[in-house]
Amino acid sequence: MMEKVMQLNPIHSRHHVLWVFIIVHFSLLLFSAFSADIPPRKILNGEKKKSRKVELHREDNRVFIDNGLVEVTIENPSGHLSGIKYKGMLNVLETRNNNNNKGYWDIVWDNEAYDKLATQHVKIITETDELVELSFTKMWDITKDHGSSVPLNVDKRYIVRRGVPGLYMYGILERQEDFPDAHMYQIRIAFKLNEDKFHFMAVSDTKQRIMPSQEDRDESRCQVLAFKEAVLLTNPTNPQLKGEVDDKYQYSTENKDNKVHGWISDDDAVGFWVITPSNEFRTGGPHKQDLTSHVGPTALSMFVSTHYTGTEMDVLYKKGETWKKVLGPVCMYLNSASWDEARHYRKALWNDANRQLREEIQSWPYNFTASEDFPHAQQRGEVNGQLLVRDQSLDKQLMQAKSAFVGLAAPAYAGSWQTEGKGYQFWTQTDNTGRFTIKNVRPGEYNFYAWVYGFIGNYKLNLKITIQPGNKINLGTLIYDPPRNGPTLWEIGIPDRTAAEFFIPEPNPTFVNSILNHDADKFRQYGLWDRYSDIYRDGDLVFTVGVSNYSKDWFFAHVPRLIGNETRATTWQIKYELQEVNKAGNYTLQLALAAASYAEVQVRINNPDANLPHFTTERIGYDNAVPRHGIHGLYRLYSINVPGNGFQRGNNTIFLTQTRCHDSFEAVMYDYIRFEGPAV
């Protein structure tokens, strides 16, 4: 039976349109009359409000979840996110891309192979008026998948909630005991946004601007610099960006600060934001740096990577070891500015995204997830206590560990949390009295770790802490004895695990990225390593204790020096005077490094030509912090014992030679150097 179609007579249609116009016009006049005294509301259309129930629709190869604010389309059964409809935008994702290149998980594993975790089955976990949760799964089969996909069982979850303009995503990844060895260097979710719409990127309060397009990074429009990620825009589609540098690593952020970032479509005054309310599932602790958003337009949710750590990050999963981890949930939030905010819509969208972040943090751990592998608040525990510092060379009394970073991570050695890549970590900062509370800790076994601003070294409590659902553990008063062998004779820098306090030069004006104009971001400008050769043309750095100022006279990175087309090893000198020398005593050079990449630091005392150094770090580090525009990588501390007969009364010199010089990026960054006299 054919469906009947009603058609209007053209003449009647025109009359119909006329009457509709008259009625609508009259209604608007009435609305204006009644609302004339009502001031315009400063409201974001993305804010929560009453909306219709969440609905789920299915087709053979697609699944739709619609809550009246957003409509999410997921490819079935691959689990790739292929569409997000919001406001007047039919798809905020790039429609010209294949479905596996719009919104997707991926893993970089053995031999740098990519696996986008395409799944094979879909299951409805929850379907109510308030929420829909879907599960897309794949079980790894050694007979079919060996060598072609990462040995991993995958469960990708999508959640759409009533009244929330966005979606939540999390993954449950599992390795069984008989799975073969595998490295998983990177695990993330990537979003490729609509290239015609999203041009303005916001990563922090200071890092915001109109960005180059993906086309601008083509060879015809840019010059590739020292590495493929960094380009100089020579003929960009937006002429205002000509002469600027673009490099995705310039937008990196520490885990503790990587909470919200995203893009704005100026045409629609619409924002797309990646919100991460917790770092418990990220690796490497609070100071691990990682990517955020970058040219594409691309927005990332990073879970695991070797960025700024190199292969020292524990990413090897061995046969015989079982492993299971929940990554996320993270929130993809959309918002739009209302008509009365048109003049300041970017600021309004950014502020609203941060408001939503605060709301997500307050709601953590979420109570709407259905997986038993994600414990809710009542299934978690809490640890509290107080941390004090004992360093009698500074103060005879115990000192309060103010604003110290304290956390729980997998049991291992002090400082191991920097390279711990498989478990969960929970961090907070102490108050002004050293007291702390670590909340919402998942059940499991942990060690307690800490580091204290202004003091060298790492703290570990030699006690295994077992968290059970609902328990609260009071560790009491803990005392940290930072490394020290004698009184301070002199020091350079601040023990803060970064090189930020040292001299950071102005960038070469040819290689500037204007998004980094704030002082706090200055170290991320391109090519700062080459400025050392510009400044120290005739010889290497010489620092005189009591005369030199480390913020002006100590270069932030110990890099090779470029002489002509040749890079050469560099030797820095620390000159100081000793009024007295205890020939029978032992002195200590505390050498704290903030970063190291394929480097070696040799220490010589008063004789730069000695065949054998007094001390060498040997070859250390893979963190690549210099070319990736970091101000730190992994923290290292060397307590170097020096017999007193190596010194002389009067003038002395310590020579620090960074011996590796195959390229400009074999370098170290110093955190802090302290010279201690013999123990009193």
Express each pLDDT in 639-675 by its tens digit. Answer: 999 999 999 999 999 999 999 999 999 999 999 999 9
Q: How confident is the model at residue 111 (pLDDT cuts 50, 70, 90)?
A: confident
| Beta carbons within 10 angstroms of residue 509's beta carbon | 7
Query: What would the mean pLDDT of 559-578 be, rounded to a whole number?
Result: 96
Residue 40 is predicted with a pLDDT of 32
Parse the chain into domains and list their residue ranges: 55-363, 377-480, 488-676
Single-letter code of the amino acid located at 196? D
Residues 352/273, Cβ–Cβ less than 8 Å: no
Residue 46 is predicted with a pLDDT of 45
Express each pLDDT in 309-323 by its tens digit. Answer: 999 999 999 999 999
Express each pLDDT in 592-645 by its tens digit. Answer: 999 999 999 999 999 999 999 999 999 999 999 999 999 999 999 999 999 999
> CA nearest 560: which of 585, 595, 536?
536
Residues 447/407, Cβ–Cβ less than 8 Å: no
Express each pLDDT in 161-203 by its tens digit. Answer: 999 999 999 999 999 999 999 999 999 999 999 999 999 999 9
Residues 272/283, Cβ–Cβ less than 8 Å: no
Superfamily of domain 377-480: Carboxypeptidase-like, regulatory domain (2.60.40.1120)
Express each pLDDT in 270-324 by its tens digit. Answer: 999 999 999 999 999 999 999 999 999 999 999 999 999 999 999 999 999 999 9
Q: How confident is the model at residue 9 (pLDDT cuts 50, 70, 90)?
A: very low
Residue 339 is predicted with a pLDDT of 63
**CATH no., domain 55-363:** 2.70.98.10
Query: What would the mean pLDDT of 64-80 be, rounded to a whole number?
Result: 98
Express each pLDDT in 376-428 by its tens digit. Answer: 999 999 999 999 999 999 999 999 999 999 999 999 999 999 999 999 999 99
CA 595, CA 598: separation in Å to the nearest integer?
A: 10
Residue 340 is predicted with a pLDDT of 63
Three-class HEC string of 421-480: CCCCCEEEECCCCCEEEEEEECCEEEEEEEECCCCCCCEEEEEEEEECCCCEEEEEEEEE
Is residue 54 over pLDDT 90? yes
Residue 50 is predicted with a pLDDT of 61
pTM of this prediction? 0.91
Average pLDDT of every residue of the chain:
92
Instruction: Find the length of the chain.
Output: 680
Inter-CA distances, 141 with 171, 260, 319, 461, 473, Å: 19, 37, 15, 42, 42
| 9: region left, alpha or beta (phi > 0 left; psi from -120 to 50 alpha) | beta
**CATH no., domain 488-676:** 2.60.120.260
> CA nearest 341: which of 649, 41, 552, 134?
41
Query: What would the mean pLDDT of 477-498 be, rounded to a whole number?
Result: 98
Q: How confident is the model at residue 429 (pLDDT cuts 50, 70, 90)?
A: very high
